Amino acid sequence: MDHYHFTVLLEPDQDEPHRYNVRVPALPGCLTYGESIEDALAHAREAITGYVAVMVEAGESVPVEEHPIIATTLVIPGMSATRPLREVAVSTAKSERPA
């Protein structure tokens, strides 16, 4: 197989600010972290590569994720009971338009 696709979950560390913990659900025990999202993803790539290499060397089959999960975080503006929902939606849409 030329490429493997894995879901990688990043979570901010509760005790260490600016640290992201990473786990790969399809690869039990494949855990790492990074001081930024970019750092965490780079470490995840290294951890996954090493994990898969050990599996291949041992003659084990590598789990295949047919449909890896892709997720992101969206920031939604807070709403006020005194501000109508339509007004919030229009204001948000205008602020997101390219300049």
Report which secondary-structure segment, H or E, holds 32.
Answer: strand 31-34
Torsion angle of alpha carbons 46, 50, 53, 59, nearest 10°?
-140
pLDDT at 64: 85
pLDDT digits (tens, 9 = 90+) for 77-93: 776 665 566 665 666 66
Tell me which of 31 and 79 has the higher pLDDT.
Answer: 31
Contacts of 43 (CB under 8 A, 6+ apart): 22, 32, 33, 34
pLDDT at 94: 67
pLDDT digits (tens, 9 = 90+) for 51-73: 999 999 999 999 988 777 777 77
Among 3.30.56.10, 3.90.1150.10, 3.30.160.250, 3.30.390.30, what is the CATH number of 9-71?
3.30.160.250
Tokens matching residue 81: 């009971």
